[in-house]
Amino acid sequence: MNIKSLVVGVTCLSLMGSLTAQTVAKKPVKPVVINTITFEPIPDSVTATSATIAAYLKTHRSDQAAILKSLYGWMGNNISYDMVNTFKPDYYTDTVDAINKTLKTRTAICHGYASLFMDVSRRAGIPAWLVSGYPITAGKPDNASHMWVAVFTANKWQLIDPTWGSGYANNNKFVRHLNWEYFLVSPAVFIKTHVPFDPLFQFQDHPLRHDEVRDGKWTAGSARPIFNYLDTLAAYTTMSEKDRAQNAANRIAQYGISNQLISVELTDLRNIIANAEHNEQVDAYNKQVGKINKASSLYNEVTNSFNQYVVFKNNQYTPAKTDKEIREWVDGMATQLDDIDKLLQTVTATEPSHVKSVGEIKTAIGGLRQRITEEQAFVTKYIKTGKLFRKGLFYKMNWK
């Protein structure tokens, strides 16, 4: 079972705070353009992949601000909101698929917009995170999840929503309209319209509980101790997907479940954890099976070698080998059995079939070891015996 991505569960039904399951048929309010920003365009010839876009920006832009402006402006002018797939939360299989479909079709829902923006930013050397949450529209939490991007630039975390910056919906049609209102916004301002499920991504010393956001209590968090989000994010960055899911789930639960979207996100995170634990169990099981199979294969190799030795001995050690070669042959088989024993000691078998297989291999090793030990003694005697008298050693015992 594959572990579900932390972002696959986002349904992304919001566009400019107006395109939702309930409001898609209504005429949305046009965004207010609060500023106009000049940016350098990106040539179409480099926009086939996020890697080529990032490489171009790193080479042709003077700083991170110029890179981000060009990327935001290019996406706003070239990527249209995908009205057809708005209500398909599983339209993207994962982040890579979201990036590829966005660049191929030049359309996207919020997951595609945010994934592409995040990936190009990272490839251009700008730390970035996908952030999932829900919008605040008309002063109330929306009923649809959304996704945006956090970037670390100018020595601070700032928020960008390339989806809402690209245009708006009007009569269930997308109107492309580049808007800079959602470009490099401070966390304190962004929380008024974009609420992360995980309070870590509020990037605030006093993050708000979800019920406080719902009730518009924007200063309520100041009564609580400072939350060191920078150190927490640094630790979060080094975690496995499973540990990140657990870390986020703990924090989300601590900060309250005030709407269904948060509950769904928490369920998705717990599913990620359960799937990861299942995968770990499968991996552990497969490792044990792999060790048992390897031990069995190695034992068969020693058995084949011993059978060849039997033929060699029955032929009175012909064709001729040096004493050293004969010594190394029988001693090597004994060493191989020791190595198999060591391998079996690392097997933590609990399945009855595994326990049985390990037991059978150990029993077989014991029997073969006894015969190899006898041959080691014979070889020792053979080497100590003068060459003129060695053939007599083969007549004193009948090998079977």
Residues 346 and 292 in one domain: yes
Is the Cα torsion angle 380, 382, 385, 387 positive or negative in sign? negative
Residues 270 and 321 in one domain: no
The 3-state DSSP class for residue 386 equals coil
Burial 310-330 (b: 16+ CB within 10 A, else e): eeebeeebeeeeeeeebbebb
Whether the pLDDT of residue 211 is over 70: the answer is: yes
Burial 179-204 (b: 16+ CB within 10 A, else e): bbebbbbebeebbebbbbbbbbbbbb
Residue 193 lies in a domain: yes
Residues 245 and 306 in one domain: no
Domain total in the chain = 2
Residues 60 and 113 in one domain: yes
The mean predicted confidence, pLDDT, of the chain is 89
Residues 272 and 344 in one domain: no
Separation between Cα atoms, residue 101 and residue 98, nearest integer Å: 5
Separation between Cα atoms, residue 237 and residue 227, nearest integer Å: 17
Residue 313 lies in a domain: yes
pLDDT higher at 357 or 395: 357
> Phi and psi for 85 in degrees, rounded to 5?
-100, 15
Residue 37 lies in a domain: no
Q: What mean pLDDT do residues 33-62 have?
A: 91
Contact 208, 202 (CB under 8 A): yes
Separation between Cα atoms, residue 151 and residue 182, nearest integer Å: 13
Residues 163 and 198 in one domain: yes
Domain finish residue from 281, 296, 328: 281
Q: What is the pLDDT of residue 127?
A: 98
Separation between Cα atoms, residue 8 and residue 93, nearest integer Å: 7
Residue 316 lies in a domain: yes
Residues 294 and 269 in one domain: no
Residues 336 and 265 in one domain: no
Residue 17 lies in a domain: no
Residue 336 lies in a domain: yes
Residues 299 and 365 in one domain: yes
Separation between Cα atoms, residue 119 and residue 186, nearest integer Å: 21
- State the residue range of the domain holding 169: 44-281
Strands (E), the chain: 80-81, 107-108, 128-137, 140-141, 146-153, 156-160, 167-170, 173-176, 194-196
Separation between Cα atoms, residue 86 and residue 387, nearest integer Å: 89
The pLDDT tens digits of the residues spanning 262-281 come to 999 999 999 999 999 999 99
Domain finish residue from 219, 251, 281: 281
Residues 342 and 318 in one domain: yes
Contact 93, 182 (CB under 8 A): no
Residue 11 lies in a domain: no
CA dihedral 125, 201, 181, 39 (to 10 degrees): 0
CA 376 to chain centre: 52
Q: What is the pLDDT of residue 16?
A: 35
Whether the pLDDT of residue 3 is over 90: the answer is: no
Whether the pLDDT of residue 131 is over 60: the answer is: yes
Residues 343 and 364 in one domain: yes
Burial of 84 (0-12, 13-18, 19+ CB in 10 A): exposed
Domain finish residue from 265, 281, 297: 281
Residue 2 lies in a domain: no
The pLDDT tens digits of the residues spanning 165-200 come to 999 988 889 999 999 999 999 999 999 999 999 999
Q: What is the pLDDT of residue 35?
A: 58
